[in-house]
Structure formats: structure tokens, C-alpha cells
Amino acid sequence: MEWSIRLVASASIVVIFLILLFVMREAATLFVGKSATTTQATSTGAPTADLAPESYNPDAEAAPASTEPDVYNPEAQDPAAAGSQGEPGAPGQFIYASKNPKYPEIYNPDTGLLPTDIDEVVEETASADTLAEQSVLSKLGGDAWQPVGEIPKFGVKPLLIGTFKTTSIAILIGAPLGILAALYVAFFARRRVREIVKPAIELLAGFPSVVIGFFCLVTVASYIQDVTGAPYRLNAIVGGIGLALAVIPIVFSIAEDALSAVPKTLREASLALGSTEWQTAYRVMLPAAAPGVFAAVLLGIGRAFGETMIAIMATGNAPLSSFSPLEPARTVAATIGSEMGEVVWGSEHYGVLFFMGVMLFVFSFGLNAITELYVKKRLIKKFQGQ
């Protein structure tokens, strides 16, 4: 009996390996030359072959392509896709009626089109042949993410910038709020208050991320635009706030656990030395729980960069290489989420998306390994000496 239950218990380990194996296996199509034979097509049925032969021109992109300095440089103008916006559920289109009609929030990943430059598309001249022959890795190192078009460009840099941007905002907002709220609940709140506040904040962890994304889309976005006057209704700040809402309950509950786990005797010893409750909380308890609080932030980071739905719905989802928080951003996870449904399975684009999945997996694995192997040891060491 024992061996069979042991076998089932190993499922978690097996799953970890399977995830790595099978996500990598799909990504591997990138590296075995299969990519050359596949063509890019989308399920919207927009025949890419009919597109005007516009291709990537590094010079054109380097120079300001239009009057708007921060315009996303479109690679292909696809009237068919633009026209198909009328179809409900046409994949990959993220439309939201803007308060400011000058900037309709439309980004179509199929065309890589941002609304502002619909009329300002710069004709680009070809360097197609050279690009098609580039190795996969050098393509991933490119500066632009325009996966659909005659010459698809898979530069992950804008996606990494977008991920970095939104994750940073989420952590800058979410970590202090989560930690301070935990501090309040653990040390300052009366027991009655604690018994209400703690489960209430933990309930936020159960909010589906689409719900948080929706809230950001309809409420937070308008509010932020009113306050900042940002040109784009959906931008990295709105996305970052959304991600922060996902991060807060995680940081809160882990930090609260860590703070409550600090021996009560330390508090007594500190108070007996004539320190106040707040001095005890900030100078003794918080430092004593520091490894746990650090772990809370790490896991918060893991949640923020891996979160998909909020990132798709609230960031504006445009792959800009801009660090400005008031401009849209597109994260790695959101890219997978919004494009996976439209790719031809087995194509190069498909492989690239899986490759990014491997990246996400490896990163989250690393974060978890750090918390498990390093932080927990530190915590134990801290209370037991040596």
C-alpha cells in the first residue's frame, strides 16, 4: 500500500518535470529548423500574403517615424484585420472606448498597430532576406515584437521592458502596503480588529484575476487618466496597480505569518527595556522577521511577473520599449496569453511563445528555490543561533 501512495505523492515532482519537458519540447521546434517551413497566419483569416510588402527597416525605426516620438512603429498595415474589429471575439483585439477620442485604445497584435499611427504608417523598405536568415536567438534579441507579418520580428526586449516596468510598479505599490498592513495586523490591531481585517485582506487573494483586471479596465484606468492626464487610458501604471492588487494579499499573508512567528518573548524583552510598542514592532520584530518578509516580497514578484489576465486587460498591451509608466506596456505573460490562441501550432511564432513560457517557468522556479533553500534556512538560523 505504501509504495502506491508514494507513487501518487510523487505526482508533484513528476508534474514539474513534465512541465519543463513539454513546454520545452514545444519550444524546441524553434531550434530544429522547422520554423523555416511554417508560414504565419492567424485565425482571423487575414491573409498575410496579401499584405503590402512592408518590412522592417532599422533606420526608419531609429529615426522618429512620425510626429509622435513614442509611437509604436507598425510593421504591417492590415486593412482586413482592422476591418474585422467588428467581429465579436476576434482574437487579439483589445478595444476599449476611450474617454479621449483622440486616442482610441486599440492595439491589434496581429498588425502591431497602435491607433495613433494608423494614419502615419511609414513605408518601410525591405531587408527581408537578411532577416529571414537570422538565427532564432538573434531574432529574440531584436528590438521589436511584431510576430505577425511578412517578416515576423520576435525581439523580446520590449516585452522584458514591459514586464520589468509593470512588475516594478506592482512591487513598489504592493510590497509596502502588504508589509505595513501585516505589521498593523500583527502588532498594533486589537484582537477584534485583527480577526476581521486579516481574513478580509486574505479574501482578496481569492479574487479572480479577470475580476481585478476588469476593475482596472473600467474604474482604475479612468481615475488614473483623470489624475495624471496620461495620453493612453490603459498604461503601465494602471496595469501595475492591478498587479499590485494581486500581489498585496500574498505579501500580506506571508509577511503576517513571519511577523507572528517571531517569539512573543522578544516583544516582552524589548518592552521590558522601556521601548514602546511601535519601537518594538519596527526595531525588533520586523528585523527579526526580515527573511520571511523578504520571502513574501520574492513571492510577490513571482506573482506579478507571471500574472496574465490583469496584464492583458489593464496595461494597454502594446510592446513598446519605453520605461515611462504612463505609456502602455506588454508583459511576457500577457504576450503568451493574447497570442497563443491565434498562432499556427508548430509555427515559429508558436515556438517563440513556448520559449517565453520556459523563461517564465525557469524564473519562477528560481525565485521559489531562493525562498525555499535560502530564506527558510536564514529564518531558522535567526531563531536558533549558530
Residues 269-328 contacting another protein, CB under 8 A? 269-279, 281-284, 287-288, 299, 302, 305-309, 312-313
Residue 8 binds another protein, judged by CB under 8 A: yes
Please state the separation of Cα 78 from the chain's center in Å. Answer: 27
Strand partners, 106: 95
Least Å from the CB of residue 136 to another protein = 18
CB atoms within 10 A of CB 3: 6
Residues that bind another protein (rule: CB under 8 A) add up to a total of 120
Interface positions, 160-219, toward another protein (CB under 8 A): 176-181, 183-185, 187-189, 191, 197, 199-204, 206-215, 217-219
- With CB under 8 A as the contact rule, the residue among 60, 118, 122, 266 that binds another protein is 266
Q: Does 32 bind another protein (CB under 8 A)?
A: no
Label residues 86-122 b or e (16+ Cβ within 10 Å = b): eeeebebbbebebeeeebbbbbbbbbbbbbbbeeebb
118 binds another protein (CB under 8 A): no
Q: Which segment (37-45, 56-64, 225-233, 377-385) binds another protein by CB under 8 A?
A: 377-385
The three-class DSSP label of residue 275 is coil
Verify binding: residue 261, another protein, rule CB under 8 A. no
Taking CB under 8 A as the rule, does residue 103 contact another protein? no
The reply on whether position 60 binds another protein by CB under 8 A is: no
Q: How far is the CB of 123 from another protein (least distance, A)?
A: 30
Q: Are 22 and 357 in contact (CB under 8 A)?
A: no
Contact with another protein (CB under 8 A) among 39, 43, 85, 228: 85
With CB under 8 A as the contact rule, the residue among 37, 67, 130, 386 that binds another protein is 386
Q: Beta-carbon neighbour count of residue 59 at 10 Å?
A: 9
Closest distance of CB 201 from another protein, Å: 6
Question: To which residue does cell 496581429 refer?
Answer: 110
The length of the chain is 386
Closest approach, Cβ 301 to another protein, in A, equals: 10
Could you tell me the smallest distance in angstroms from the CB atom of residue 215 to another protein?
5
Q: Considering the rule CB under 8 A, would residue 380 count as an interface residue with another protein?
A: no
Partnered with residue 105 across adjacent β-strands are 96
- Calculate the alpha carbon distances from 316 to 154, 245, 295, 347 in Å: 19, 17, 30, 26
Pairwise CA distance, residues 293 & 262, whole Å? 12
* Interface positions, 325-344, toward another protein (CB under 8 A): 333, 336-337, 340-341
- Of 33, 88, 101, 229, which one interacts with another protein (CB under 8 A)? 88
Angle between helices 157-183 and 236-261 (to 10 degrees): 40
